[in-house]
C-alpha cells in the first residue's frame, strides 16, 4: 500500500478544528475521534469509527456512505475482549474485527504514539544546568529492527533492560 501520513494527538492536545465544521457542530466524540483528510475531502468519525460524517456535513444530505461489510463489535468498546476470547475458544478462522494481521501493525502505530509522547517529555541538562528537550522532533521508526533510528534515548522505552541475572526469554 502507498505511504500514509499519520498525525497522532494525545494528552488533551487536539488537531485544529476543520474549517468545514460549523460553530455549533461537534468535532469527534467526548473521548476522541478520527479525521481522515483525502484528496477529495474529509471524513470525521468518533472513536472506533462510529458515526462517520463527511465534511462539510451538508454533504451527508447529498451522498450516502457505503454500509460496511463488517459488523461493529457487539457491546461496543467492551466487546473487543469478549470477541477475542470467543475466537480463541472456537479456533482458527473465527471472525474478529481486529485480526492479528491488522491489529499487530495498528498496535505498533499506537505504541509509536506513546514513544513520541515519552520522547517529547525526555529531558537532559545542558552544560549550564538548564533543561533541554532533545526528543521534541519527528521520530523515525525501524519496524524490522524495532528501534528508533534518530533518537537513541527513546529506545529505552522500547525494550526493557533487566537488572542483574534476570531475563525474559521468548
Task: Identify the pLDDT of residue 148.
Answer: 95
Task: Identify the pLDDT of residue 169.
Answer: 77
Asked if the peptide bond before residue 56 counts as cis, ω within 30 degrees of 0, the response is yes
**Per-residue pLDDT tens for 28-57?**
888 888 999 988 889 999 887 788 899 998
Task: Identify the pLDDT of residue 77.
Answer: 67
pTM, 2 dp: 0.57
Task: Identify the pLDDT of residue 137.
Answer: 94
- Chain centroid to Cα 86, Å, comes to 25
Q: Can you tell me the mean pLDDT for 126-149?
A: 94
Name the strand (E) or helix (H) holding 124.
strand 124-125
Ranges of each domain in the chain? 1-66, 68-98, 99-170
Q: Can you tell me the mean pLDDT for 121-147?
A: 94
Averaged confidence pLDDT in the chain: 86
Amino acid at each position: 500500500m502507498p505511504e500514509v501520513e499519520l498525525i497522532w494527538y494525545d494528552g488533551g492536545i487536539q488537531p485544529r478544528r476543520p474549517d468545514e465544521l460549523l460553530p455549533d457542530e461537534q468535532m469527534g466524540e467526548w473521548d476522541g475521534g478520527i479525521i481522515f483528510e483525502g484528496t477529495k475531502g474529509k471524513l470525521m468519525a468518533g472513536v472506533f469509527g462510529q458515526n462517520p460524517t463527511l465534511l462539510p456535513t451538508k454533504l451527508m444530505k447529498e451522498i450516502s456512505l457505503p454500509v460496511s461489510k463488517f459488523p461493529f463489535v457487539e457491546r461496543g468498546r467492551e466487546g473487543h475482549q469478549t470477541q477475542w476470547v470467543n475466537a480463541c475458544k472456537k479456533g482458527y478462522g473465527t471472525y474478529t474485527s481486529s485480526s492479528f494481521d491488522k491489529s499487530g501493525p495498528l498496535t505498533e502505530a499506537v505504541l509509536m504514539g506513546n514513544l513520541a509522547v515519552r520522547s517529547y517529555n525526555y529531558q537532559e541538562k545542558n552544560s549550564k544546568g538548564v533543561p533541554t528537550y532533545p526528543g521534541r522532533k519527528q521520530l523515525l521508526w525501524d519496524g524490522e529492527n524495532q528501534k528508533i533510528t534518530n533518537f537513541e534515548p527513546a529506545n529505552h522505552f522500547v525494550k526493557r533492560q533487566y537488572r542483574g541475572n534476570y531475563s525474559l526469554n521468548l
